[in-house]
Amino acid sequence: MNIGQQIAKYRKEKRLTQEQLGEAVGVTGRSVSKWEVGLSSPGVDLIPSIAATLGITLDELFGIQPKEKQKTSPRSSGRRSPRRWNRSYPTCLKKIWTN
């Protein structure tokens, strides 16, 4: 889905006309219509106010879906466990002090 389709989707969910959305963000209803059919795109300066007027985040406006966080253990991420690191720490200090 492009940004125009997203604007149309959320505008309709909010039960706003193109004119009402245009007035809220400072453009004409005709401009909103052009965005929705893909003849033009809103300016970068208008995007935050469009999202705010529609009551959505910028991610939602751009159709970005959040990724689910994956649970990883320290061992599976390639890091040493704190316990293992603590055991090797005194050895490191010995090497530093003896050189």
pLDDT at 52 over 60: yes
Answer yes or no: is 11 within a domain: yes
Contact 4, 38 (CB under 8 A): yes
Answer yes or no: is 76 within a domain: no
91, burial (CB in 10 Å: exposed 0-12, middle 13-18, buried 19+): exposed
Answer yes or no: is 16 within a domain: yes
- pTM for the complete prediction? 0.66
CATH number of residue 20's parent domain:
1.10.260.40
Give pLDDT, residue 66: 73
- Structural domain that includes position 27: 3-61
Q: Total domain count for the chain?
A: 1
For residue range 56-82, what is the model confidence (pLDDT) as tens digits?
999 999 998 877 754 555 555 555 555
pLDDT at 91 over 90: no
Answer yes or no: is 41 within a domain: yes
For residue range 4-33, what is the model confidence (pLDDT) as tens digits?
999 999 999 999 999 999 999 999 999 999
